[in-house]
Amino acid sequence: MDNTTKQTPLTSLGEFGLIDRLTAKIELHHKSTVKGVGDDAAVLDYEGKQIVVTTDLLTEGIHFNLMYVPLKHLGYKAVVVNLSDVFAMNAQPRQITVSIALSSKFSVEAVDELYAGVHLACEQYGVDLIGGDTTSSMTGLTISVTAIGEAAKKDLIYRKGAQVNDLICVSGDLGGAYMGLQLLERENEVFKVNPQEQPKLDGYDYILERQLKPEARGDVIKALKTLSVKPTAMIDISDGLSSEIIHICKQSNVGCAIYEEKVPLDFQTRKFADELSINPLVAALNGGEDYELLFTVSLADHDKIKNDPDITVIGHITEAANGTNLITGAGAAIPLQAQGWNPLKGEKGK
Ligand code: ADP
Ligand code: MG
């Protein structure tokens, strides 16, 4: 929050004034949006398509820290993480709803910033904002986004379709968002001790962006369509590669072999992991928030995907009895563990 500009208390607008302000600029683009904001409910008409619906709830202090997360980025990310789930079904996102709970520490200008990010994501991904809810909170900010998308029935891809010998593929690179978070946390600790100290973020723009402004891989969905490849199973990587591949394997009743040296890691991810003396592979396996797509394709499709620089084959599906394994450079099989974050188990938030 920029404290030098004038801050208007939320009470000066009231709930309805605030909703009007947040929704004033909305333009609707999809034929499927019959009615957006302004009545008791939005009205959608998908003309025979199958509909996917997904929702995420983010709480201040648990999922984000406003000490170093700009509100505009938060608004953007809150939308993007939901669109990622829609793409992971091989569906196209069309509409979102956004619900917020605000404590009195937030000004009108602060909420404007949050919504600037929400609107930007809507524009970037071509989705209509069709409603939401606005309420007050005792303890900071909560934001919940619901995304709605469409797909022809034959196009939907579930977690359960992986077959023995399928190739396991991942888009982009992994572990960057986690390393970006470690960097932000480190600099925040320094700032708490000495507010005069400038944060040392130079040379790490990529991992910071991976944490603060992730993108949903609709481009990969499009590329697969162009290549005429329909994955047999798919999931987005929100909780780390380990837990996501275990989801696919459990639901498909298969096992897997993931090759350690095939897991794509960016230079900055490696460099900062090196600086912290941690193995960047751990960030890829257990870090999460990369929002890349993890999918399986039949062996016959290998030629179609092998030249796509954005897709890496990291292993293959095996019989369930073999288990879910990471194969090290030396050839040892180590069982993968789902260490994805579970706040209800009281583990450290990320
Ligand atoms: P209701 O009392 O029926 O819940 P509200 O007064 O809360 O209606 O909301 C009025 C309209 O504004 C509805 O169409 C609702 O979907 C929309 N809306 C409310 N809050 C938000 C928000 N934070 N973002 C987008 N739309 C919102
Ligand atoms: Mg309401």
Residues 84, 124: Cα–Cα separation, whole Å = 13
pLDDT, mean of residues 224-237: 98
What integer pLDDT is reported at residue 119 of this predicted model?
98
- pLDDT band of 347, cuts 50, 70, 90: very low
d(CA 192, CA 194): 6
The pLDDT assigned to 73 comes to: 98
Which is more confident, 343 or 274? 274
Q: Does any ligand 1 atom lie closer than 6 A to the CB of residue 17?
A: no
For 40-72, what is each residue's pLDDT tens digit? 899 999 999 999 999 999 999 999 999 999 999
216 CA distance to ligand 2 middle (Å): 28
Evaluate if residue 1 carries a pLDDT over 60: no
Place of tokens 């394994």: 325
- The confidence band for 342, taking pLDDT boundaries of 50, 70 and 90, is low
Find the ligand nearest to 111 CA.
Answer: 1
3-state secondary structure of 46: coil
Full DSSP string of 281-324 = HHHHHHT-----EEEEE-GGGHHHHTT-TTEEEEEEEE-GGG-E
The pLDDT tens digits of the residues spanning 301-330 come to: 999 999 999 999 999 999 999 999 999 999
What is the DSSP code (8-state) at residue 230?
A: -
Comparing C-alpha atoms, which of 44, 46, 121, 113 is closest to residue 84? 121
**Among residues of the chain, what percentage have pLDDT more than 70?**
96
What pLDDT does residue 238 have? 95
Measured CA to CA, the distance from residue 229 to residue 299 in angstroms comes to: 11
- At residue 238's C-alpha, the angle toward residues 208 and 233, to 5°, is 135
27 CB contacts (<8 Å, ≥6 apart)? Answer: none
The mean pLDDT of the chain is: 94
pLDDT of 5 strictly over 90:
no
Residue 350 binned pLDDT confidence (cut-offs 50, 70, 90): very low
Kindly report, residue by residue over 66-96, the tens digit of the pLDDT. 999 999 999 999 999 999 999 999 999 999 9
- pLDDT band per the 50, 70, 90 thresholds, residue 349: very low
pLDDT given at position 247:
97
- Ligand 1 centroid to 13 CA: how many Å? 15
β-partners of residue 150 are: 51, 92
pLDDT band at 346 (very low <50, low <70, confident <90, very high): very low
d(CA 110, CA 141) in angstroms, rounded, equals 11
Report CA torsion sign: 167, 173, 176, 177.
negative
Q: For ligand 1, is residue 98 a contact (CB within 6 Å)?
A: yes
pLDDT of residue 348: 39
Residue 219: both structure tokens together: 């481009």
How far is residue 213's CA from residue 215's CA, in Å, rounded to a whole number? 7
Query: Above pLDDT 90, what percent of the chain?
Result: 89
Does 141 have pLDDT greater than 90?
yes
- Ligand nearest to the Cα of 132, by number: 1
The tokens for 332 are 């040892």
The token duo for 118 is: 């929400």
* pLDDT for residue 233: 98
Question: Can you give the pLDDT at residue 314?
Answer: 98
The whole-number average pLDDT for the span 120-128 is: 98
Rounded to a whole number of angstroms, the distance between the first and last alpha carbons of the chain is: 21
Spatial distance between the Cα atoms of 129 and 43, rounded to a whole number of angstroms? 12
pTM score of the predicted model: 0.93
Is the Cβ–Cβ distance between 162 and 296 less than 8 Å?
yes
What pLDDT was estimated at residue 199? Answer: 84
How many other C-beta atoms lie within 10 A of the C-beta of residue 278? Answer: 15
Decide: 145 in ligand 1 pocket, CB within 6 A: no
Q: Is the CB of 183 under 6 A from ligand 1?
A: no
Q: Is 37 in the pocket of ligand 1 (CB under 6 A)?
A: yes
CA angle 169, 272, 338 (to 5 degrees): 45
Q: What are the pLDDT digits (tens) for 179-198?
A: 999 999 999 999 988 988 88
Q: Which ligand 1 atom is the nearest neighbour of the CA of 38?
A: 14
134 lines ligand 1 (CB under 6 A): yes
CA dist 157 → 87, 119, 248, 253, 316 (Å): 9, 28, 11, 16, 18
